[in-house]
Each structure stands twice: as structure tokens, then as C-alpha cells.
Amino acid sequence: MNNIFIIFSLLVLSAFSVNAQEVEQHSDSLRTNAVKLFIDCYYCDMNHIRREIPYVNYVRDIKEAQLYLREARQTTGSGGREYSFFFTGQKEFEGLTDTLVYMSRPDDTRDFTRDGRTNMIKMGLMRYVARTPIYKEIDIRHMGETKEEMVSDKWNSWVFELETRPRFESEESLKEFSFWNSFNANKITPDWKIEVDFDHRLTRTKYIYEDSTHTNDKTQVQLENLIVKSLGDHWSAGSRIELLTSTFNNAKFRADIFPTVEYNIFPYFESTHHQFRFAYGIGVSINHYNDTTIYNEIQETLGQHLLQVAYQVQEKWGSINVALEGSNYLHDFSKNRLELEGTINLRIIKGLSFSVRGRVARIHDQLSLVGEELSEADILLQLQEMASAYNINGSIGLTYTFGSIFNNIVNPRFGNGRTYYR
């Protein structure tokens, strides 16, 4: 009798094991046939996305992917962000493309925005997931009843922002206190772009040198106003006005007024993909100096013009953002400045990417430099602008990643990657 019971138990366990193995094999089959997704996004919370969207295979090589997803972002007129998601099918999904847009408000929390972006990705994935066996695991639900509502904007598209940021640092022989205040007002519509930025900075430094206490102040007050009118898909015209008072720049009062016209080779509505803009401005600079300059001037009014060329592109192979700007004073063309700055990120081959970030400036237009010899404190504490013929800064990066092409697992213990306790 006992032998019969043992044999019966073994048969039940065997059947259960076979059934479990079949279920596991079925699950593995579904996972193998899931959409292979490559996400091109610098600011995405990939851990959150993997948790919320477990029904795709996340691959780290674009050539292994069936679906390429790129996110691009732009700031909206309200101070929020517009997130554009570009879905591009590859291999079996070649020709299946889509573009979805998610809009965040300026008062949305990071968590709310993160969820909104992730939900938009979910919706964009459905047309691809529906073409795989894993569609059986998906259940689409409606969260509530949508009602039509007319929106009335009492602010007429204006957005305001106030910020204050005190900062201090103290050592035995050096104490520094800085105070920064800012006010921004923006109005952005399809036809107009109006920005007003006000900044006030104060830095007070106390230092002890040879048993004597010295106090130095560095102040700057700046007001910038930009007004731009849209003139079609490629043209725009506007004016930039800047008012400045700065002890560092030897500016008791400076006013720069630059009417400018801009032409974009690509239509502006394609800005999330590419831009190639040419801008030319000609204007006047009114200067009243705190101290007599190296050219023996205490005040002067100067004509000036500038030309800027900017190129931006985001594609599967990477991104390029480069700007070249040249300017000079009209009374003396030897007083000029040429600046080149940009960022380039390239995917070279599987797992290998290359990045360059930098800025190079040739400077020959420092007309406001103080004529008197600078003190040791002015130099060491950078209280006054110093003469320089050039400025260079930048970085180069080379990254190579290899191993499993799949990356579906999330484990946040001890931080993410090489970042601990954060």
C-alpha cells in the first residue's frame, strides 16, 4: 500500500514538474519574442522604465534593436517641457514609425513628469507589441471619463519666476558671502517670443593677510530683454537689449541694443530633429565705465555687429550641437571676437561611442579693461577682468560597452552603477 502511495506521489510531482517546465518554457518563448528596444535618452530614469514596462527586451546596441526610440525635449512657454518621442522600426518593423508628444507643466513634480513620460512610451509601444506573441500579457484600460473643457488663461501666456540663492563659505583666514536674486518673465506663443531676465549678484569677500583684514565686494546687476516675431517657417526677426552694471567688467552702466534677423534652413517645426540657423545683428553699445580704460576712455558709444551660425542634429548615430559666432566693433575691425563651441556625441561601432565638448574663443575686443595696474587682491580674488587673447575649455570622452545585449533587470541596491548611496 505504501509503495502504491509513493508511486502515485511521484507521478503527481512529475506531472506538476512537467507542467511548470512547460509554463516556464512558454514564458521564455514570450520573452524571446518580445520587442527588442533601444532607448536613446540622456535624462530618462531607466530603472523606472524597466519596472513599468517589463514586456520588452531592452538592448544596449542599436543594431540589435527592432525598435529605436529617441526622446527630445524643449522648454515650453509656460516653463514646462515638451517631450517628443520618435519611434523608428528596424528589421521586422522597418517602415513603422511614429511620433508622440508629452507636455509637462512647470509645477509638475519630477515623479509626476516621469510617470507621464513613461505612460507615453507605453502607448507608443503598443503598435509594436501587438505584433508579437507577448501581446497576450497586455491589458489596456481607461482610467476615467474624459470631459471637454474650455481653457481660459488669465495670464495671457505670461509666466513669471522669482528666485533667491544666498551662499556662504568660511575659513580661518577667508570668509565669503554671495547673494543671487533673479526675476524672469516670459511669453511664448507661435507668433511671439518675449523674455525678460533680471539678475542681481553680490559677492563679499573678507580675508586676513599679514595681520590685516581686507574686505572686497564684487557686484553685478543685469537686465536682458529678447523680443522675437515669427515670419514663417524659416524666418524670424527680433531684438535683444542688455543693460549691465558690473564691478568685474568695469561697467558703471552699459546698454547693448541689437536688432537681429534669423534664417533656419530647416522649418522650425522640425527643431527636435535638426536646426541650421544663421543670425545677423547690428546695433549699438553705450558704455559708462567705473574707471578709465586702457584706451583712456571713461564713456563711449560704439557700433557693433555679429554673425552666428548654429547647427543642431539628433539622429540614431548620435547628436551634434555646434555654434560659431563672430563679432567686431564698427569703428575698428581689429577689435573683434570669434567663438566656437559645441558638443558632439557619436556612436562609432557596436558598444563604442565618442564625445567631444568644448569652447574656443579668440578675444580682441576687451575695450573696458581698467587702465590702472591691478592689485594683488584683484588678481587673486578675480575682482577685475584681466586681459586675455584667448579662452579654451573642453573635454573628450571615449566609451566602450560589451557583454550581454539584453538589459532587462533592475537592482537598485547600493545605488545605480558606480554611484553609491544616492
27 domain-assigned = no
Residue 410 has pLDDT above 50, yes or no: no
Q: Where residue 61 sits, what CATH number does that domain have?
A: 3.40.50.10070
Q: Which of 137, 152, 183 is the last residue of a domain?
A: 137
C-alpha to C-alpha distance for 174 and 159, rounded to whole angstroms: 40
127 and 267 together in one domain: no
pLDDT at site 9: 54
117 domain-assigned = yes
Q: Into how many domains does the chain fold?
A: 2
236 and 133 together in one domain: no
374 and 261 together in one domain: yes
142 domain-assigned = no
CB atoms within 10 A of CB 161: 12
146 domain-assigned = no
133 and 243 together in one domain: no
Domain interval for residue 354: 231-400
195 domain-assigned = no
What pLDDT, in 10s, does the model give residues 186-223?
888 888 899 999 999 998 888 777 777 777 888 999 99
333 domain-assigned = yes
287 domain-assigned = yes
242 and 102 together in one domain: no
What pLDDT, in 10s, does the model give residues 306-325?
999 999 887 777 788 899 99
235 and 378 together in one domain: yes
Contact 314, 274 (CB under 8 A): yes
pLDDT at site 258: 92
C-alpha to C-alpha distance for 389 and 337, rounded to whole angstroms: 9
130 and 274 together in one domain: no
CA torsion, ordered 279, 282, 283, 289, to nearest 10 deg: 80
Look up residue 421 and give its three cell numbers.
548611496
Q: Which of 104, 122, 137 is the last residue of a domain?
A: 137
Using pLDDT thresholds of 50, 70 and 90, give the confidence band for residue 183.
very high
For the entire predicted model, the pTM comes to 0.63
235 and 374 together in one domain: yes
C-alpha to C-alpha distance for 391 and 369, rounded to whole angstroms: 16
Contact 161, 79 (CB under 8 A): yes
What pLDDT, in 10s, does the model give residues 327-364?
999 999 899 999 999 998 887 776 677 888 999 999 88
What pLDDT, in 10s, does the model give residues 231-273?
999 999 999 999 999 988 889 999 999 999 999 999 888 887 7
368 and 254 together in one domain: yes
Q: Where residue 278 sits, what CATH number does that domain have?
A: 2.40.160
Tell me the β-bridge partners of 81: 75, 104
119 and 254 together in one domain: no
225 domain-assigned = no
What pLDDT, in 10s, does the model give residues 370-409?
766 656 555 555 555 656 777 788 888 877 766 655 554 5
3 state SS for the chain: CHHHHHHHHHHHHHHHHHHHHHHHHHHHHHHHCCCEEEEECCCCCHHHHHHHCCCCEEECCHHHCCEEEEEEEEECCCCCEEEEEEEEECHHHCCCEEEEEEEECCCCCHHHHHHHHHHHHHHHHHHHHCCCHHHHHCCCCCCCCCCCCCCCCCCCCEEEEEEEEEEEEECCCEEEEEEEEEEEEEEECCCEEEEEEEEEEEEEEEEEECCEEEEEEEEEEEEEEEEEEECCCCEEEEEEEEEEEECCCCEEEEEEEEEEEEEECCCHHHCCCEEEEEEEEEEEEEEEECCCECCCCCEEEEEEEEEEEEEEEEECCEEEEEEEEEEEECCEEEEEEEEEEEEEEEEEECCEEEEEEEEEEEECCCCCCECCCCCHHHHHCCCCCCCCCEEEEEEEEEEECCCCCECCCCCCCCCECCECCC
pLDDT at site 153: 65
245 and 112 together in one domain: no
Checking 96-105 for CB contacts under 8 A at 24+ apart, the result is: 96/127, 96/128, 98/124, 98/127, 100/124, 103/76, 104/80, 105/78, 105/80
100 and 238 together in one domain: no
